[in-house]
């Protein structure tokens, strides 16, 4: 392994549980839509989910909460975001892993979540990270290879000196590998894939006790 300088983490599904996103996208937004259109919640969910599907996760708008509040005519998004903050949680091993890795590496977040949401999602673990990069807010792009190169430039390191971990095979693993970053696929369901991890404790053991 090249001398690793930077360990990069995806946010949602990697350090932050899906609880907040579930509450915002699958409960609160459909409930607001139901109230506005005088529908029952099941009907509203069907319509809103169909709208999500029309956009899909390959387009920037998918990730943009303000876009969705405009598109669905739901008014300001901040009260809805505030109402979901109680659903934010980190996976249980996260704090221990970050405090251990931070002794030896610079840690960063590389996420497609907008910066204004990341600030809420990271909460008390944000101080572990030297930088928090949002592909949407800082680069107006998805987590594509150019985003990863941009991060390396900002951090002043070569891609070979970066490890990235995340739960999207495409956006975390394939796209970072294209520029020469070593990436690990986090599959918390425990599936067995090449270079896959089932939790971040495995990454810690790999990096702190290299064979």
The footprint of Mg ion (CB under 5 A) covers 10, 12-13, 167
| 143 vs 182, beta carbon nearer Mg ion | 143
| 161 vs 167, beta carbon nearer Mg ion | 167
Q: Are 112 and 121 in contact (CB under 8 A)?
A: no
| 11 vs 44, beta carbon nearer Mg ion | 11
Closest approach, Cβ 177 to Mg ion, in A, equals 16
Distance of CA 43 to the CA centre of its chain: 29
Closest approach, Cβ 26 to Mg ion, in A, equals 16
Closest approach, Cβ 24 to Mg ion, in A, equals 15
CA-based angle 71:73:79, to the nearest 5?
110
Closest approach, Cβ 46 to Mg ion, in A, equals 25
**Alpha helix (H) ranges present in the chain?**
19-21, 29-37, 41-55, 65-71, 78-84, 94-101, 115-122, 135-139, 145-155, 175-177, 200-208
| 10 vs 161, beta carbon nearer Mg ion | 10
* Listed residue (190, 158, 189, 185) closest to 173, CA to CA: 185
| 72 vs 164, beta carbon nearer Mg ion | 164
CA trace torsion 145, 18, 96, 205 (10° rounding)? -50
Question: What is the 8-class DSSP label of residue 159?
Answer: G
CA-based angle 40:43:49, to the nearest 5?
130
Closest approach, Cβ 200 to Mg ion, in A, equals 13
Residue nearest to Mg ion (CB): 13
């Amino acid at each position: 392994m090249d001398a690793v300088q930077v360990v990069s983490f995806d946010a949602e599904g990697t350090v932050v549980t899906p609880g907040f996103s579930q509450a915002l996208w699958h409960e609160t937004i459909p409930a607001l839509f139901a109230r506005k259109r005088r529908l029952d919640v099941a009907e509203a969910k069907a319509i809103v989910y169909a709208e999500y599907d029309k956009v899909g996760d390959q387009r920037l708008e998918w990730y943009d909460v303000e876009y969705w509040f405009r598109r669905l005519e739901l008014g300001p998004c901040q009260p809805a975001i505030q109402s979901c903050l109680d659903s934010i949680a980190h996976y249980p091993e996260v704090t221990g892993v970050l405090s251990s890795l931070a002794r030896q590496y610079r840690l960063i977040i590389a996420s497609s979540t907008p910066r204004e949401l990341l600030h809420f999602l990271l909460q008390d673990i944000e101080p572990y990270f030297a930088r928090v990069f949002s592909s949407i807010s800082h680069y107006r792009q998805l987590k594509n290879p150019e985003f990863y190169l941009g991060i390396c430039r900002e951090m002043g390191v070569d891609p070979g000196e970066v490890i990235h971990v995340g739960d999207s095979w495409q956006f975390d693993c394939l796209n970072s590998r294209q520029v020469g970053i070593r990436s690990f696929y986090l599959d918390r369901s425990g599936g067995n894939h090449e270079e896959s991890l089932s939790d971040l404790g495995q990454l810690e053991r790999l990096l702190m006790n290299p064979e």
